[in-house]
Structure 1
Amino acid sequence: MSTKDWLEKDYYKILGVSKDAKPEEIKKAFRKIARENHPDQNPGNKKAEARFKEASEANSVLSDPKKRKEYDEQRSLFGGGFKFPGAGGARPGGYGSSGPSMDDLFRNATSGNQDISDLFGGLFGGTTTRRTTRSPRRGTDIEGEVTIDFTQAVEGTTVSLQTVSDAPCASCRGTGAKAGSVPKVCTTCQGSGMKETQTAGGFAMAEPCPECRGRGLVVEDPCPDCSGSGRARSTNTMQVRVPAGVTDGQRIRIKGKGGAGENGGPPGDLYVLVNVRPHPVFGRKGDNLTLEVPVTFTEAALGADIEVPTLNGPPVRLRVPAGTPNGRTFRVRGKGVRKANGDYGDLLVTVNVQVPSSLSAEAEAALRNYADVVGSGNPRA
């Protein structure tokens, strides 16, 4: 297997595991893919056959500790996802249709006076040039917080949320310069926003330019409203949909509703922390609602049909069998929280046998007569 394959292919992604996955996780993932895509199980299915071969190749590397270590080191060196040029036809540099190997590249770079940066400039189809255009920058993520009722959390609701985020300054339109002036291209990074430094191994490392802080522009006469940053605080009110079944303390991600991006970059995301007020009667356990229902001693002993409430519907009748002990839980199907697949959880009803705090003379006599009839056995024996 060539170094080119190792740099271009993400074996972890192919098997669907994380980069710190344990050997048993890799083995389990490969077996699942192999079982679903084996040629014997999918005769004539070219797609399944290709998937099987791809997974086998990934497993042969990641299941071998030595190969996996070498693979991780090489991808870390080039940042992962390194692509060799010339997907078809002849490759640059006269290496032929099979493309250069890493050994060929470094051998040619060190055989003469060629600089390593020239090597990679030629590899990607031309000489190295300093980037002078400012790259797009993604907007910042922002957070908000809402408090909703128990019923709203179960059924879902729409709430109004006010957010504060960074946006282009209205006074200078995001330039950071005072009205009547314009920012100048940073002479340190030539407008790229990045500064390159050479490491001991001859590689160029890029980091945000300390002079312009990655903007690529230097403001000599700053805008008084944003102090030259080009950004200002923006208040925005939006309607946020809280899905059914949300739990207390859950964070909801709303893509693209965060801070505005710069230079054509995408906006950030909005994260909403949901607080749920407790219900005076109902509780919750996952997708099930919980409810405690008091019953009398005679109802528990002799049995009874009782009515129990539901969260947003009519009461339902529940049969309490004779001899029901205190704390027994009954299940009412389909009266719980709506699940993501459209089904509903259940209502869990727990019986709480009530003991009278005082008795009339007749009731006390009747209970003593009952005790004489059933005997004086010790339930704690």
Structure 2
Amino acid sequence: MAKRDYYDVLGVSKGASADELKKAYRGKAKELHPDRNADNPNAEAQFKEVNEAYEALKDPNKKAAYDRYGHAAFENGGGGRPGGGFGGGAGQGDFASAFSDVFDDLFGDFMGGRQGGGGRRRASRGNDLRYNLRITLEEAYAGLQTTITVPTAVACGTCNGTGAEGGAEPVTCPTCSGMGKVRAQQGFFTVERTCPTCNGAGQTIKNPCNTCHGAGRVEKERALSVNVPAGVETGTRIRLAGEGEAGLRGGPAGDLYIFIEVRDHELFQRDAQHLFCRVPVSISKAALGGDIEVPTIDGGRSRVKIPEGSQTGRQMRLRGKGMPTLRGGASGDMFIELAVETPVNLTARQKEILREFDKQSEGNNPQSSTFFSAVKSFWDGMKG
């Protein structure tokens, strides 16, 4: 069976440039790779055909010979068979490099991905840190300026974060030539591993710093000033850019995230920007009405008028006496909820007065009348 034209195999014109040839080869190799075409019995043969075509056309001398003589250029010792697989011959390193690019595209994600800048990892960003800060409701209302102490890794002052003694620059790793990874040919595949000399950093330090032992950072506690804005709630997150863990070998620092927790208050309950305060009142005050004095979150006090005949659970609103909103705007409201209190430890005279009051109060308890009327209807219905 006659061989197909190499340009047709790659799907390019005869005047294609080296970059166009390489791009076409990579596309075809990825498309026809046997691992991606388990259900295509011809995939392996087509894949080898693509490899053979590219090996011939990638080399300028072989390409010139092929353009002049066709397939006859590689027959009877005419320059070596281009389809000789992964064996020796001129240009072998170039072909291995091109195939390793395809290997990276096919399996890069599985192997950890390709790294930018030729795979070098000279410096790495520091980790982000979390700090939990508990504050009072009053502090959440007014805002807070405080200082926190954070244990973290900071850039080594002895080597200025380089990890090398005297602040000297690290040198390129001789094993991987700064790539951070090494490749080995194993039969049909090129296998890539993290460089054992530099552990993937791409660089080595001849004389490590005695203080940080080559890491470029040391453990230390830092005092930071934190501005907590008014209106924060539990779960509010404050980000301090660059205040996290120092980067490795001079890399950028991470960020510090402060998570706010607002403690429970003994007088006020919070719902977003609104506050609730449960206030006990005597039976006589609830029945006759009158004024009471209630606290506010800013430390002040407000007078509230209780209407006659108030029941437990009745609410009254104090506008603007709640919590400020975090991003500005109007403050929330404060709600006063009444709790009518039953007196205890009555004297004989008090009991006598209450019995007399009870006799005179028939028809003055609307909730009781409504409830027991409903109960009577229920029982009558059950009898029916």
Give TM-score, length-normalised by structure 2.
Answer: 0.60
Change (3 A) 1:246 1:198: farther
Partner residue in 2 for 1:283: 269
Q: Could you tell me which of 309, 334, 350 is aligned with 1:347? A: 334
Partner residue in 2 for 1:11: none
**Residue pairs, 1:17-56, within 5 angstroms:** none
Contact 1:135 1:192 in 2 (8 A): no
Question: 1:268 offset after TM fit, Å?
Answer: 0.7
Q: Do structure 1's residue 167 and structure 2's residue 170 form an aligned pair?
A: no
RMSD of aligned Cα (Å): 4.1
Contact 2:146 2:226 in 1 (8 A): yes
SS at match of 2:286: helix
Question: 1:214 offset after TM fit, Å?
Answer: 3.2
Partner residue in 2 for 1:118: 98
Letter paired with 2:136: D
Contact 1:116 1:202 in 2 (8 A): no
Change (3 A) 1:195 1:251: farther
Partner residue in 2 for 1:330: 316
Give CA-to-partner distance per residue, 1:176-225, whole Å, 9 cap, x none.
344598754323332233456899997987x7544323332234543332
Whole-Å separation in 2 of the counterparts to 1:354 and 1:141: 53
Partner residue in 2 for 1:222: 208
Question: 1:341 offset after TM fit, Å?
Answer: 4.0
SS at match of 1:146: strand
Whole-Å separation in 2 of the counterparts to 1:326 and 1:292: 10
Letter paired with 2:302: V
- Compare 256-265 and 364-373 and name the one that shifted more: 256-265
Whole-Å separation in 2 of the counterparts to 1:308 and 1:200: 85
Contact 1:293 1:352 in 2 (8 A): yes
Partner residue in 2 for 1:318: 304
Q: Do structure 1's residue 186 and structure 2's residue 166 form an aligned pair?
A: no
Partner residue in 1 for 2:283: 297
Q: Could you tell me which of 295, 308, 311 is aligned with 2:294? A: 308
Contact 1:327 1:350 in 2 (8 A): yes
% identical aligned pairs: 33
Contact 2:153 2:219 in 1 (8 A): yes
Question: 1:297 offset after TM fit, Å?
Answer: 0.6
Unaligned runs of at least 5 residues, structure 2: 1-15, 34-46, 55-94, 103-115, 376-384
Whole-Å separation in 1 of the counterparts to 2:132 and 2:314: 38
- Compare 106-115 and 355-364 and name the one that shifted more: 106-115
Contact 1:132 1:190 in 2 (8 A): no
Whole-Å separation in 2 of the counterparts to 1:197 and 1:279: 66
Whole-Å separation in 1 of the counterparts to 2:274 and 2:190: 58
The higher radius of gyration belongs to: 2
Question: 1:232 offset after TM fit, Å?
Answer: 1.0
Give TM-score, length-normalised by structure 1.
Answer: 0.60
**Residue pairs, 1:99-248, within 5 angstroms:** 106=30, 110=47, 111-113=50-52, 114=54, 115=95, 118=98, 131=118, 134-178=121-165, 183-195=170-182, 209-219=195-205, 221-248=207-234
Question: 1:311 offset after TM fit, Å?
Answer: 1.0
SS at match of 1:112: helix
SS at match of 1:158: strand
Question: 1:130 offset after TM fit, Å?
Answer: 8.2
SS at match of 2:179: coil
Letter paired with 1:374: S
Whole-Å separation in 2 of the counterparts to 1:310 and 1:171: 54
Change (3 A) 1:244 1:119: farther
Question: 1:291 offset after TM fit, Å?
Answer: 0.9
Give CA-to-partner distance per residue, 1:227-271, whole Å, 9 cap, x none.
332221233222111122223454432222212335664321102
Whole-Å separation in 2 of the counterparts to 1:130 and 1:160: 40
Unaligned runs of at least 5 residues, structure 1: 1-89, 123-128
Give CA-to-partner distance per residue, 1:290-309, whole Å, 9 cap, x none.
21111111222233333322
Contact 1:167 1:233 in 2 (8 A): yes
Contact 2:162 2:216 in 1 (8 A): yes
Contact 2:126 2:252 in 1 (8 A): yes
**Residue pairs, 1:22-101, within 5 angstroms:** 93=19
SS at match of 1:317: strand
